[in-house]
Amino acid sequence: MKKILAISASLLLMAGAMSAQELANFNFGGRGVPAPSPQIQNDSVTFRLRAEYATEVRISGSWMANPYGAGEMMRRNANNVWEYKCPLPSPEIYTYNFIVDGTAVNDPQNILVQRDGTRFLNMLIVPGERTENYGEANQRGTVRYMWYDSPSLGLNRRMVVYTPYGYENNPKAKYPVLYLLHGGGGDEEAWTSMGRAAQILDNLIEKGLAKPMIVVMPNGNAGQQAAATLNVATKQVSEQNAYVNSLVKEIIPFIEKNFRAIPKADSRAIAGLSMGGGHTLSATALYPGTFGYICPLSIGSQRSEQLDAQLQGIKKAGYKLYWFGCGKEDFLWQSAQQLDAALTANGLEHTFFVSDGGHVWANWRLYLNTFAQLLFK
């Protein structure tokens, strides 16, 4: 039998070789021998791209002073490879791409890619304390892409659901649930792709810093069935709170039926960034007492009598934690300060977590990594 398997193994090698050959033959524009990129060496990082026939190659990176600008020029090195070397930015996850004669291109040497709508951007992960929970943990949960019916929106829709390590092996254990909402322009994959939510929860739970929890990441664009890359239906939804109503009346029951979720306010948290922070404010205003943990991120609200009434409703219904975060350079910084003042004036105990920076994923990862440690305790 050994010999037979050896024969079939040689076929496997042929198959493997052919596949590699296909790859090698595929037109990469004469890329030839790969040029490692990005390459971190001590305090610098070097990016490289083989683009023989290009006249001008730039790199645009989120760590640059103007991340939306024209980027920095790359230079041809002695091996005819375009190169850009810069000081290593501080520990964080950055995105970048190359611009070859005016056209944005991904780094064919970098295996780390995130999706932002229909843009695919390479990631540079700079190791350090800030990013230690953004990499792979040893004990990892399950990430599910699943579909649920929303009769109120008239759509079968997709959501992403994370269950923690051990969920499968502890069939009697019940878990609290965090409803984690994305921002404008995002979709149900935003928190796992750009937000590293699965890695952050895996690491926090493995270290005993967060309670094992289920994380539900629905699509907050009420007319969209699923992420734009899926080529499924979209429709107009004009009713203002359509998504928030669906979240509370359809998504929560679906989760509490299909997962071993604890169906109590004290075991439900809601958090969201930007538009999802608005959804968090609306959901807790319209359905006080549903969520014990309330975490709007990078959002605020103008002070008004109605806001006061809303907050009194939340206070009366009771909650365990009101935690919200905003960056000092966020364009919503002033409105976040107003929410802080309104919470104080209305006597709602809360934490206002103030960070540097603006309306960016660096902050949302930081916030999740911070407030997740406070939930369900």
Binding to a copy of itself, residues 276-335 (CB under 8 A): 277-278, 281-282, 285-286, 298-302, 304, 306-307, 309-310, 331-332, 335
Least distance to a copy of itself from the beta carbon of 196, Å?
11
Residue closer to a copy of itself by CB (options 178, 281) is 281
Contact range with a copy of itself by CB under 8 A, out of 36-44, 137-145, 320-328, 349-357: 137-145
Query: Cβ contacts of residue 267 below 8 Å, gap of 6+?
Result: 175, 176, 177, 261, 292, 376
DSSP H helix total and E strand total for the chain: 9, 18
Q: Specify whether the CB–CB gap between 370 and 325 falls below 8 A.
A: yes
User: 266-288 burial string, b = 16+ CB within 10 Å, else e?
Assistant: ebbbbbbbbbbbbbbbbbbbebb
Least distance to a copy of itself from the beta carbon of 44, Å?
20
Binding characters for a copy of itself, 18-47, by CB under 8 A (x = yes): xxx-xx-xxxxxxx----------------
Collapsing DSSP to helix, strand or coil, 347 comes out as coil
Residue closer to a copy of itself by CB (options 162, 376) is 162
For helices 305-317 and 333-345, the axis angle rounded to 10 degrees is: 60
Q: By CB under 8 A, how many residues form the interface with a copy of itself? A: 110
CA contacts within 13 A on the Cβ side of 245: 10
Q: Specify whether the CB–CB gap between 251 and 158 falls below 8 A.
A: no
Least distance to a copy of itself from the beta carbon of 19, Å?
4
Residue closer to a copy of itself by CB (options 228, 317) is 228
Q: Which of 33, 41, 43, 53 binds a copy of itself (CB under 8 A)?
A: 53
Q: Which of 36, 75, 128, 146 binds a copy of itself (CB under 8 A)?
A: 146
Should residue 166 be labelled a site residue for a copy of itself when binding is judged by CB under 8 A?
Answer: no
Should residue 54 be labelled a site residue for a copy of itself when binding is judged by CB under 8 A?
Answer: yes
User: 319-355 burial string, b = 16+ CB within 10 Å, else e?
Assistant: bbbbbbbbbeebebbebbbbbbebbeebeeebebbeb
Residue closer to a copy of itself by CB (options 77, 377) is 77
Q: Which of 1, 33, 65, 78 binds a copy of itself (CB under 8 A)?
A: 1
Phi and psi angles of residue 316, each rounded to the nearest 5 degrees, phi first:
-65, -40
Residue closer to a copy of itself by CB (options 34, 377) is 34
Phi and psi angles of residue 255, each rounded to the nearest 5 degrees, phi first:
-65, -45
Residue closer to a copy of itself by CB (options 246, 282) is 282
Least distance to a copy of itself from the beta carbon of 184, Å?
3
Should residue 106 be labelled a site residue for a copy of itself when binding is judged by CB under 8 A?
Answer: yes
Measure the CA–CA gap between 266 and 129, rounded to whole angstroms.
Answer: 31
Should residue 12 be labelled a site residue for a copy of itself when binding is judged by CB under 8 A?
Answer: yes
**What does the radius of gyration of the chain's CA atoms come to, in whole angstroms?**
24
Should residue 138 be labelled a site residue for a copy of itself when binding is judged by CB under 8 A?
Answer: yes
Q: Which of 39, 85, 88, 145 binds a copy of itself (CB under 8 A)?
A: 145
Query: By CB under 8 A, what part of segment 187-226 binds a copy of itself?
Result: none
Query: By CB under 8 A, what part of segment 225-254 binds a copy of itself?
Result: 228-232, 240-241
Query: By CB under 8 A, what part of segment 82-101 binds a copy of itself?
Result: 99-101
Should residue 156 be labelled a site residue for a copy of itself when binding is judged by CB under 8 A?
Answer: yes
Least distance to a copy of itself from the beta carbon of 53, Å?
4
Q: Specify whether the CB–CB gap between 142 and 209 falls below 8 A.
A: no
Measure the CA–CA gap between 122 and 113, rounded to whole angstroms.
Answer: 4
Closest CA to 61 of 71, 76, 51: 71
Residue 364: in which H helix or E strand, if any?
helix 361-371
Residue closer to a copy of itself by CB (options 158, 320) is 158
Q: Specify whether the CB–CB gap between 288 and 314 falls below 8 A.
A: yes
